[in-house]
Structure formats: C-alpha cells, structure tokens
Amino acid sequence: MDLRIMGLDSPLFSTLQQQMLDVSDDAEKTFNAPTRTYVRDAKAMASTPADVKEYPKSYVFIVDMPGLKSGDIKVQVEEDNVLVISGERKREEEKEGAKYVRMERRVGKFMRKFLLPENANTDAISAVCQDGVLTVTVQKLPPPEPKKPKTVEVKIA
C-alpha cells in the first residue's frame, strides 16, 4: 500500500510502513522455517543412497548397509503406502590406548522413505541383508480383471 496516494507521505509514515513490511517478512520466515525433526530426517535421508528397480512382478529397493546387523535395520510400511527403511550405525567402542587418527565413516541415524505405487502389495514384503547390502522386495498386486460387459435381457411387451 502506497501512503503517498492517501496524502500520508511524511517520513514518519514511510518509516512505519517499512517497519510493518519488515515484521511481516520476519514472521513469514519464522512460520516457514523447517522444524528440527524435519532437518534431522532430511539429513538422514540425504546420507542414505538407494537404488530402486522395477521388475514385471515386483519392486526392489537396494540400500548399502556396510557393517550393520539385522537388529540395527528397521523396514516398515507407514500410512499403507510409504516404505520406510531406517536404523542406526553406532560408533565402535574405543579400546584402551587406541585413538582415532581419522574418522570418515558415518555414524548415527539413517532413514529413507519411498512412496509405493498403487499396485504394490504391502502384505508381501521381504527384506534380506547380505554382504552389507539390504534388498527389500515389494511384490506387485495382480492386475485387475477387466470387467465383462453385462448383458440385459430385453423383454417384449
């Protein structure tokens, strides 16, 4: 809103107008700021690369999980169509007298979420972790049977 149109072009009103605009910008940034949970989940997802393959009868998700035991990995389905692969890689306990010279391997929580297609059978999911590679297989539902036309008998009146 331009105050000059209303005849209010004094420096006081223009300062008030500018401050009002600044407050609304700050409020917008505050309301649109990501939550801590969102930032944590985004970092966990970015650090967990995955491959997804589609076969005629299934979808296969492949995630590298070096050094993890099956108890450290969780595979679940949320909201009937979101596949969630998560877990935590823990730091090794330090042995007495040993210290890290370099530490490059990631530790901490990891997570990936995948929106499953409508034809995914969430009741037929299997997960296998072998040689540090997690393979999650989601079977596809069979295609729906095409509807046959219904014949209606025509009666003569």
Q: Which domain holds residue 73?
A: 53-91+106-144
Q: From 112, 120, 108, 124, select the one nearest 62 (Cα to Cα).
A: 112
Tell me which amino acid residue 69 is: K
Which whole number is the average pLDDT over 102-126?
Answer: 87
Q: Is residue 134 part of a domain?
A: yes
The CATH code of the domain that includes 69 is 2.60.40.790
In a domain, 136, yes or no: yes
Average pLDDT, rounded, for the chain? 79
CA distance 51 to 136: 11
User: Strands across the sheet with 82-89, in order?
Assistant: 73-78, 82-89, 108-115
Q: Tell me if 136 sits within 8 A of 127, measured CB to CB.
A: yes
- Cα atoms in the Cβ-side hemisphere of radius 13 Å centred on 100: 8
pLDDT given at position 124: 93
Please answer whether residues 125 and 142 qualify as being in contact, where contact means their C-beta atoms are separated by less than 8 angstroms: no
The total of other beta-carbon atoms located within 10 Å of residue 77's CB is 16
Radius of gyration for the chain, computed over Cα atoms and rounded to the nearest angstrom? 28
Per-residue confidence at 114, pLDDT binned at 50, 70, 90?
Answer: very high
At 117-135, the pLDDT tens digits run 999 999 999 999 988 899 9
Q: Place 8 in a pLDDT band, splitting at 50, 70 and 90.
A: low
Residue 45 covered by a domain: no
Residue keyed to tokens 């530490």: 103
102: amino acid identity, one letter: R
Tell me, yes or no, whether 6 lies in a domain.
no
pLDDT at 3 over 50: no
pLDDT tier at 111 (50, 70, 90 boundaries)?
confident
What does the pLDDT look like over 28-57, one tens digit per residue?
555 566 677 666 555 555 667 899 999 999
pLDDT at 24 over 70: no
Q: Is 75's pLDDT higher than 50?
A: yes
CB 83 within 8 A of CB 75: yes
Considering its fold, how many domains does the chain have in total?
1
60 vs 100, higher pLDDT: 60
